[in-house]
Amino acid sequence: MSAAVITYGGTLLLTSSESFLLTLSGKENEMVHQLMHSMGRASASAQVLTGIGALALGILALVGIAPTIMILVALLATGTSMLLRSSFASGLLMDLLRL
């Protein structure tokens, strides 16, 4: 299980640039482009931090320091990161914020 957590942390680190690269490919005006650029950078940074945290917690669980708690906390962080990264959830959040 701790190996799976380490795998997820590594995957989050490796795929952190995806959303950033995909937001760069639009053809908007300068203001929207800058806004999307900064949002993409923020989301990529958050994903990198979550990935590093999951890696650290997975290694601690592998070493044997409260493994169940470490694994569950890492899974909670990873799940939250994936949930917030999903464009469906972010669209819902944007709608809520607009209201």
Q: Name the site residues for another protein (rule: CB under 8 A).
A: 1, 3-5, 7-8, 10-11, 14-15, 17-18, 21-22, 24-25, 68-69, 71-73, 75-76, 78-80, 82-83, 85-89
The minimum distance between CB 2 and another protein, in angstroms, equals 9
| CA distances (Å), origin 53, targets 46, 50, 67, 73 | 11, 5, 15, 10
Are 17 and 86 in contact by the 8 Å Cβ rule? The answer is no
Query: Between 22 and 42, whose beta carbon lies closer to another protein?
Result: 22
